[in-house]
Amino acid sequence: MFSKSFCAAIDGIDAFIVNVEADVSDGLPSFDLVGFLGSEVKEAKERVKTAIRNSGYSLPPKHITINLSPADVKKEGTAFDLAIAIAILTASGYIPNDYLEQTLFIGELSLDGKIHRVNGILPLICTAQKQGFKRCIVPKDNAKEGAVVSGIEVIGVENLSLTVELVSGMMTILPEFLDVTSLFMEQEERNTLDFSDIVGQVTAKRAIEVSVAGQHNIMMIGTPGSGKTMLAKRIPSIMPELSFEESLDISKIYSVSGQLDNNRVLILERPFRSPHHTITQTALIGGGRCPRPGEISLAAHGVLFLDELTEFDNRTLEVLRQPLEEKVVTISRLHATYTYPANFMLVAALNPCKCGYYPDRSKCKCSLQQIKQYIGKISRPLLDRIDICVETIPIAYKELTYGKSNESSSIIRERIKEARERQLFRYQKSGKYFNSQLSPSEVKKYCSLGDKEQKILEQAFTSMNLSARAYHRILKVARTIADLEGKDSIEKHHLIEAIGYRGVDRKYWGEV
């Protein structure tokens, strides 16, 4: 007898439907699994047979063949166990075919028939909903995560026997329900880090505001203890709140990575990822034997903070160059190619030398050769991909003790929202969201300059020995500064400020 159930498999951060076909026929007793399977799927044969037996069902001594289609795409993971078991039990006469037609089955089986959680539930259910399925049967521990998706029933089950009773019509289990709106409201009350905590650093705070408004990459350079890390950690607090669509996009990435559970079913805040400088290339950009998203994808729609930038391995930093330009990262393997998002804002921090006090020669004892070797770890191509470079200066005692009150994150965030709304309106027909995403042709169209501004930029281009990439980035930053002021055109002071953000890196990398 033939039967078919449905499952789904992860493809990058998306998914595709898998038809699980079962045939139970006369012949020598055997159990064959086919369909271009990974090692975890091949092992499902023993898990499924034992789980069925320990759940109180007996398999006939017949020839059992399971095919996972499409057969030209490799299947990895353990999420197919439940669908395989249901297909076999249906072909063996334990379950009627009616319920299986518009139902997706996802879950890993233990030997005693319990159903364990799996990674990637969110993209799997999103795909099922788009394909017109009415319901998904998932592990109980994944049910809340799956309930984030509207328009499809998500039912959590604990074991195989309970699932058989459900699909046979012998019992009813109510679909999981999740109030997403209340989750977002609760999250607003949890935010504690605020820009009002920052004393001084007026220039650095202004540079950060500009970088967030246009989604520009920024690098902070300064002495130890001057507040670089403190500033970076508060950047998400001035970013506009996540929309539900953005939250769902980020949550898919975290779901595939296994970083969601019943206590955290949806990413509600802008990601802030701060990997240690010993991180490998694979962990940073993604990949592995079974490719998974890396830190740059986990930071999507948020911040990737690289503290002590010069301590990172040179080769690790250089792999960032292409994702910073293209906003995606492509991982190629023998049997498949995976594309992950990389639309993050890069925030880097470093000391100017090994001791951290250059160019203050009263404190810095490093030789010019040592300084050159230390900051020379950051290549010029990587520097050109950083739009804004700003210095953080040591805080005076009087500022710490008697400093005036500072703007809160909410005030800064409102200005940034207005600037981003201007960008959205301007680029609504081009599919772009931020000034930082403009191509050279779009820079020419949207960042035009007057005669005075042209002369200023020409002088800066020659005297600072800028590259074509740096030239375009100055214009994009100037466009963002103008947006923060509500100006339709780039004016002289906007351009001068943008050029100033390119002067700091020339100060350090040019002197040595």
Domains in the chain: boundaries: 2-167, 187-424, 438-507
**What letter does residue 256 receive in the DSSP assignment?**
H
| CB 258, CB 140: distance < 8 Å | no
The CA-to-CA distance between both ends of the chain, in Å, stands at 78
pLDDT tens, position by position, 264-307 = 889 999 999 999 999 999 999 998 877 889 999 999 999 999 99
| CB 348, CB 379: distance < 8 Å | no
Per-residue pLDDT of the chain (512 residues; tens, 9 = 90+): 889 999 999 988 899 999 999 999 888 888 999 999 988 899 999 999 999 999 999 888 889 999 999 998 889 889 999 999 999 999 998 998 877 889 999 999 999 999 999 999 999 999 999 999 999 999 999 999 999 999 999 999 999 999 999 998 888 999 999 888 888 877 665 667 888 888 888 899 999 999 999 999 999 999 888 889 999 999 999 999 998 999 999 999 999 999 988 788 899 999 999 999 999 999 999 988 778 899 999 999 999 999 999 999 999 999 999 999 999 999 887 777 888 999 999 999 999 888 888 878 888 888 888 888 888 889 888 988 999 999 988 877 776 666 666 889 999 999 999 999 999 999 988 888 999 999 999 999 999 999 999 999 999 888 888 888 889 999 999 999 999 999 999 999 999 999 999 877 777 776 44
Residue 401: its pLDDT value, please? 67
Cα 189 to chain centroid distance, Å, stands at: 23
Residue type, 80: F
Sign (positive or negative) of CA dihedral 453, 454, 459, 465: positive
Cα 363 to chain centroid distance, Å, stands at: 41
Residue type, 312: F
Distance CA 358, CA 245 (A): 45
| CB 392, CB 185: distance < 8 Å | no
H helical segments located in 352-491: 368-375, 380-384, 397-402, 409-426, 440-446, 451-463, 468-484
**What letter does residue 403 receive in the DSSP assignment?**
P
> Mean pLDDT over all residues of the chain?
90
Classify domain 2-167 at the CATH topology level.
Answer: Ribosomal Protein S5; domain 2 (3.30.230)
Residue 510: its pLDDT value, please? 65
Distance CA 247, CA 290 (A): 25
Sign (positive or negative) of CA dihedral 336, 276, 349, 197: positive
Residue 512: its pLDDT value, please? 42
pTM, two decimals, is: 0.90
Residue 403: its pLDDT value, please? 60
Residue 511: its pLDDT value, please? 47
Question: Which helix (H) or strand (E) is 30 found in, with range?
Answer: strand 30-34
Distance CA 344, CA 215 (A): 8
CATH architecture of the domain with residue range 187-424: 3-Layer(aba) Sandwich (3.40)
Distance CA 19, CA 68 (A): 6
